[in-house]
Amino acid sequence: MLSKNKISFITSLHQKKFRKLEQLFIAEGEKVVSELLSSGYDVKTIVATASFLEKHHRAIMNSGAEQVEVSEKELGKVSVLTTPNEVLAVAAIPSLIPGEIDYHDTLTLALDDVSDPGNLGTIIRIADWFGILNIVCSNETVECFNAKVVQASMGSLFRVNMLYADLDSFLSGIPANQDVNVYGTALDGKNIYEDELSSHGIIVLGSESKGIRDELKKYFTESLLIPSFHPGKNKTADSLNVAATAAIVCSEFRRRK
């Protein structure tokens, strides 16, 4: 059974300040937790129904996590989901510092103030699909261990390195001798379908409402445009959703690889 203290502790992790204090986060649902158990993350506690514990017995034992068997009703006391789904896990937040990122022969995404959890989770999933292993987020970007981000990433979060930093300092600190291309999306950029794209570099994507901040554009070695193909005379959509932009841009870079 879940003790009152355990319920209080787990529900405290619904809030960012306690996740930061404890350096722990919550993952929910069979697929997400299954991915977590096979990721190498330090899983502290598994709160789950008997059927989940039985089905994933070996993986849970190998993780060394504490096991708490509950009914679906009891799971609802700690879940952040509207409809709890068999299992909730508590795991340690890993650390990553800028110096650990290798820019050679690889692509890195840099996200400037992406505020929507669903968008960030989707971008993480896109990066995983296209083999982009590092995402650098501005300090204003939504926290990647927010429960909604974890859920939207569908386990991809556990295969992608996430770093939070001041993007101005981050981009200005890239050594010139590393010959790293910095790409940014812009309305006055070159047509991405016609431009020559490198197999490595940093791709900067902006916020849903404001795009990329002007002070970051000085670091661009090239600006890219995703053109509209709207056939009519009426005005087309003002912009693309940032996750849709990420999918198109990542696809184009990989297609030219």
pLDDT digits (tens, 9 = 90+) for 177-219: 567 899 999 888 899 999 888 888 999 999 878 889 999 999 9
- Rounding to the nearest 10 degrees, give the CA dihedral for residues 170, 207, 163, 140: 90
102 vs 64, more confident: 64
Q: How confident is the model at residue 175 (pLDDT cuts 50, 70, 90)?
A: low
pLDDT digits (tens, 9 = 90+) for 225-237: 888 887 766 666 6
Geometric angle at alpha carbon 208, from 203 and 210, rounded to 5°: 90
* Contact status, residue 204 vs residue 184, Cβ threshold 8 Å: yes
pTM above 0.95, yes or no: no
Q: Using alpha carbons only, how large is the chain's radius of gyration in Å?
A: 20
Tokens of 44: 């502290």
Is the per-residue pLDDT at 78 higher than 80? yes
Q: How far is CA 17 from CA 20, 25, 145, 146, 180, in A?
A: 5, 11, 12, 11, 35
Alpha-carbon span 82 to 49, nearest angstrom: 17
Is the per-residue pLDDT at 34 higher than 60? yes
Geometric angle at alpha carbon 15, from 9 and 16, rounded to 5°: 120
Please give the mean pLDDT across all residues of the chain: 90
* Contact status, residue 225 vs residue 102, Cβ threshold 8 Å: no
Residue 187, class by beta-carbon neighbours within 10 Å (0-12 exposed, 13-18 middle, 19+ buried)? exposed
* Contact status, residue 54 vs residue 174, Cβ threshold 8 Å: no
Question: What is the per-residue pLDDT for 105?
Answer: 76
Strands 222-225 and 182-191: parallel
Average pLDDT, integer, range 25-29: 96
Alpha-carbon span 156 to 114, nearest angstrom: 18
**What are residue 171's phi and psi, to 5 degrees?**
-70, -35
Q: Which domains does the chain have, with CATH numbers?
A: 4-92 (3.30.1330.30), 98-255 (3.40.1280.10)
Is the per-residue pLDDT at 30 higher than 90? yes
Identify the residue whose tokens are 């896990």: 89
Average pLDDT, integer, range 128-132: 95
